[in-house]
Amino acid sequence: MKERVAIIDIGSNTIRLVIYEKLINGRQLKEIENIKVSSRLRMYLDDKLFLKDEGISLLIETLQNFKMMLDLYGVSEIFCVATATVRQASNKKDIVQIIQERTGFTITVLTDYEEAYLGYLAVSNSINIHEAITIDMGGGSTELTYFRNKKLVHYVSLPFGALSLKLQFVKDDIPTIEELQKIRNYVLAQIEKLTWVFNKHVPIIAMGGSARNVAKLHQSIIQYPLADIHHYEMKLSDIHDVKELLTPLSLLGIQDVEGISKDRADIILPAIEFFEVLCHVSKATQFIVSNKGLREGVLYQRLNRNQQEITGLIDSEIHELMHDYYIDPIKSKQFIHLATMFFEQVKGINGIGIVFSDHDRDLLKQGASIFHLGKYLYEESGPYVFHLIANRPIVGLSHRERIKLALVASFKSRGAFRQHIEPFKDWYTKEERKKICLLGAILKVSRSLNSTGRNIVRDINITSQGNSWVMNIQTQNNYAPEKYQLEKQKKHIEKLLKITLIPHFQMIES
């Protein structure tokens, strides 16, 4: 049986169970179940922060239902954590004991530092940014961190969340303009002493349900061509546009808006008010939404994954894709070597109007790793490969980077390339588009040099002679099939660079 682990996250607004399955390498985890209960435990705290019996009963009932799911899935490890409402409850010890007795779950009540740190850990392991402010806005508290060079520098746990702001300042279902201003003034007063937040001019990375809902709504507004929200990038003006859309609406109106969870409709505006304030005072360069948060932070900590290099994470994600589609890692390695040889020769030629970087070499290698994906699906399956990669979240890659990978790995022809890139054309300059296309063409031609899978090419050397490239290819065996395929495929580079590619094969002694 496959090994499975689970996280139970007892928050102030929701209680969530997420079940993960360990993959082949034992370090990567794949989410296979995600169940959310909108419990709103915060509403069961009285004036003395005592969690009432009704709240405890609701918690017990939810956990007992989760227990049945865990037994059904055969989960071997369970991590049960609680955040602000249980942490702040005056009867916290009694709650933990009762839960243990009635459900068998041992709850770890996270300190404010632990909650902030775990959010930072999730972000630093999933987004390739070295300096940022993170927000993890829950129902009853909001954790902020500032990290630089991937190291945590500052953290704070603020005594409010989306639900507690609503309970404190909003009389009816949704806030009035005056109530939003009161929320704004309160938030400003809470963060005015945090000098490390002001004028930072760095991205803000936001976690939690409210941030995800803002991202989904904005994607709906602009008809965004991708579905997932991890690493979705917005500007401060985008947040303001979302606020302007929602402010005039009734509760039912907000619930009908695509992208907004019905159980979050009454607390989304207080959350947006906080996001807008923090972006403004920090002079945020971007507002980036992370789909990885506290729960992933708990898992990363348990797996001893501390500040793993993003390149390693991307490689792991690529390896998982190869495993899912039965791509032979040995053949893939051979192809990467061949494509890299060809790339280095093209890179060294003056006058092609393209300057390659180390990042382009990495992109070529990643594309080569999964270039054979089309063979698994169908022989002529460029569109399938493109859409599969474009819509599959890859930890460590932004949406922009993932589309580049999809374009390179699915390259079939310049016509197909233009068709695939059309919805994303504005994301790249003309020079970038040409470079991405050329990387795909290099892979297409490189594959022809190992069409029989014998790995016979030992060296490639290209010399430029005016508008002609003489391509000297040394092989250790008969090269007729490879020469035939190269003659068919070299047109992809010839048309793109307006050159003539003249291949010269030479068989050498092995």
Kindly report, residue by residue over 254-309, the tens digit of the pLDDT.
999 988 988 899 999 999 999 999 999 999 999 999 999 999 999 888 776 555 55
Give the pLDDT confidence score for residue 379 in this predicted structure.
47
**Do residue 39 and residue 90 come from a single domain?**
yes
pLDDT band at 375 (very low <50, low <70, confident <90, very high): low
Kindly report, residue by residue over 47-85, the tens digit of the pLDDT.
999 999 999 999 999 999 999 999 999 998 999 999 999
- Residue 375 to residue 382: CA distance in whole angstroms: 10
**Do residue 273 and residue 163 come from a single domain?**
yes
**Do residue 232 and residue 261 come from a single domain?**
yes
**How much is the mean pLDDT over the chain?**
92
Half-sphere exposure at residue 89, Cβ-oriented, CA atoms within 13 angstroms: 26
The strand pairing partners of 29, in sequence order, are 22
**Do residue 118 and residue 213 come from a single domain?**
yes
307 phi-psi bin (left φ>0, alpha ψ -120 to 50, beta other) = left
Residue 364 inside a domain? The answer is yes
> Is residue 429's pLDDT more than 80?
yes
**Do residue 248 and residue 355 come from a single domain?**
no
Q: How far is CA 294 from CA 16, 144, 255, 320, 498, in A?
A: 11, 13, 26, 23, 52
**Do residue 416 and residue 429 come from a single domain?**
yes
For residue 84, what is the domain's CATH number? 3.30.420.40
Q: What is the mean pLDDT of residues 473-494?
A: 95
Q: Which residue pairs, CB below 8 angstroms and at least 24 apart, start in 61-66?
A: 62/15, 62/37, 63/8, 63/15, 63/99, 63/102, 63/103, 63/105, 64/102, 64/103, 66/8, 66/17, 66/35
What distance lies between CA 64 and its chain's CA centroid?
Answer: 32
Give the pLDDT confidence score for residue 376 in this predicted structure.
53
Could you say which of 273, 299, 325 is where a domain stops?
299
Tell me the two tokens of residue 88.
């702040």
**Do residue 226 and residue 293 come from a single domain?**
yes
Q: Which range of residues forms the domain containing residue 196?
A: 113-299
Cβ 39 vs Cβ 15: under 8 Å: yes
Count of domains forming the chain: 3
To the nearest 10°, report the CA torsion of 360, 364, 366, 371: 150
Kindly report, residue by residue over 307-365, the tens digit of the pLDDT.
555 666 788 888 888 888 888 888 899 999 999 999 999 999 988 889 999 999 999 99
The strand pairing partners of 417, in sequence order, are none
Residue 47 inside a domain? The answer is yes
For residue 484, what is the domain's CATH number? 1.10.3210.10
**Do residue 118 and residue 67 come from a single domain?**
no
Tell me the two tokens of residue 483.
């020469």
Could you say which of 270, 299, 328 is where a domain stops?
299
Residue 304 inside a domain? The answer is no
**Do residue 278 and residue 352 come from a single domain?**
no
pTM as predicted: 0.90
CA dihedral (441, 443, 448, 449) positive or negative: positive
- Burial (CB < 10 A; 0-12, 13-18, 19+), residue 41, is buried
